[in-house]
């Protein structure tokens, strides 16, 4: 009876380690999770059109679609720029994909790319 218990336990442990492996059968490395997150990042981006760039105040006005990570419907609003260098990448009328986050009471653009 003890041998049966040991065999079942060993089978369960082996099954668990197989499910923790990547699709190649090699155990997933810690860095793979980061890489997967980076690859998923563009999916977190929202579509928008630049309405105004205010370099002096480090703000940008974007008419945007839904921003899923903020649970926000489409609208036109002013965002702060996390990095003022982001504002130099765009001008009014540009179609973009962007990432925004809530920082305290402000909404902040953290990344912006030309739309494809």
* H or E element, residue 99: strand 95-103
pLDDT by residue for the chain (116 residues), tens digit each? 556 555 555 555 555 544 444 444 545 454 444 444 444 456 689 999 999 999 999 999 999 999 999 999 999 999 999 999 999 999 999 999 999 999 999 999 999 999 98
- Reading the block at residue 8, the tokens are 């079942």
Total domains in the chain come to 2
To the nearest 10°, report the CA torsion of 85, 46, 106, 71: -160
Same structural domain, 70 and 98: yes
Same structural domain, 28 and 10: yes
Same structural domain, 69 and 92: yes
Tell me which residue range forms the domain holding 56. Answer: 45-114
Same structural domain, 79 and 110: yes
CATH code for the domain in which residue 91 is found: 2.40.50.320
Same structural domain, 35 and 59: no
Which residues, other chains included, contact 70 with Cβ-Cβ below 8 Å and sequence gap of 6+? 100, 101, 102, 107
Same structural domain, 106 and 50: yes
Same structural domain, 61 and 33: no
Same structural domain, 11 and 68: no
Same structural domain, 22 and 9: yes
Same structural domain, 105 and 78: yes
Q: What is the pTM for the complete model shown? A: 0.64
């Amino acid at each position: 009876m003890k041998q049966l218990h040991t065999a079942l336990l060993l089978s369960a442990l082996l099954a668990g380690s197989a499910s923790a492996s990547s699709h190649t059968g090699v155990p997933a490395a810690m860095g793979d999770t980061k890489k997967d997150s980076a690859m998923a990042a563009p999916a977190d981006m929202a579509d928008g059109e630049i309405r105004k760039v205010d370099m002096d105040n480090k703000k940008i006005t974007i008419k945007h679609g839904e921003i899923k990570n903020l649970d926000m419907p489409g609208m036109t609003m002013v965002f702060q720029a996390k990095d003022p260098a982001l504002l130099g990448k765009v001008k009014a009328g540009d179609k973009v994909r962007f990432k925004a986050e809530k920082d305290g009471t402000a909404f902040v653009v953290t990344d912006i790319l030309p739309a494809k």
